[in-house]
Structure 1
Amino acid sequence: MKTIVVTGGSRGIGLKTIHLLLKKGHRVLNLSRKTPEIDEIYIITGNFTHIPFDLKNPDITKLEDAFSQLSSIDVIFNNAGFLINKPFALLNKQDFSDVFQINVFSIVQIVQTALKYLSPKAHIVNVSSIGGLHGSQKFPGLSAYSSSKGAVTILTECLQAEFQDTGYTFNGLAFGAVQTEMLSEAFPGYKAPISAAEMAEFVTWFLLNGHKFFKGKILPVSLSNP
Structure 2
Amino acid sequence: MSKHIIITGTSRGIGYELVKLFAKQGHQVLALSRNDGPVKALKLPNVSAFCFDLGDPEAYQKVENHISEHWEHVDVLINNAGLLLNKPFATTTTTDFEEVYRTNVYGMAELTRVLIPYLAKNSHVVTMSSMGGVQGSMKFPGLATYSSSKAAVITLTELLAEEYKDSGISFNVLALGAVQTEMLEEAFPGYKAPTTPEEIADYIVDFSLKGQKFYNGKLLQVSNSTP
TM-score band w.r.t. shorter chain:
over 0.9
CA contact (8 A) 1:51 1:66 kept: no
1:61 aligned onto 2:61: yes
Displacement of 1:7 after TM fit?
Answer: 0.3
Offset from partner CA, 1:190-209 (integer Å, 9 cap, x none): 00001001111101101111
Q: Runs ≥4 in structure 1, deviation > 4 angstroms?
A: none
Paired with 2:146 and 2:156, the residues of 1 have a C-alpha distance of 15
What is the aligned counterpart of 1:39 among 38, 42, 52?
A: 42
Displacement of 1:62 after TM fit?
Answer: 2.5
Displacement of 1:93 after TM fit?
Answer: 0.9
Counterpart of 1:177 in structure 2 is: 178
Counterpart of 2:26 in structure 1 is: 25
Paired with 1:110 and 1:225, the residues of 2 have a C-alpha distance of 31
1:137 aligned onto 2:145: no
Q: Give the match's secondary structure for 1:224.
A: coil
The code of the aligned residue for 1:219 comes to L
Q: Which segment is superposed worse, 48-57 or 117-126?
A: 48-57
RMSD over aligned Cα atoms: 1.2
1:1-226 equivalent positions in 2, closer than 5 A = 1-35=2-36, 36-37=38-39, 38-40=41-43, 42-43=44-45, 47-59=46-58, 60-69=60-69, 70-226=71-227
Offset from partner CA, 1:106-133 (integer Å, 9 cap, x none): 1111111111111111100011110111
CA contact (8 A) 1:80 1:102 kept: yes
The code of the aligned residue for 2:25 comes to K
Query: Normalising by structure 1, what TM-score?
Result: 0.95
* Identical counterparts, % of pairs: 49
Q: Give the match's secondary structure for 1:126.
A: strand
Paired with 1:58 and 1:5, the residues of 2 have a C-alpha distance of 18
Query: Normalising by structure 2, what TM-score?
Result: 0.94
The code of the aligned residue for 2:156 comes to L
Displacement of 1:68 after TM fit?
Answer: 2.2
Q: Give the match's secondary structure for 1:120.
A: strand
Paired with 1:58 and 1:191, the residues of 2 have a C-alpha distance of 37
Paired with 2:80 and 2:189, the residues of 1 have a C-alpha distance of 22
Offset from partner CA, 1:56-85 (integer Å, 9 cap, x none): 334232232233232210000000000000
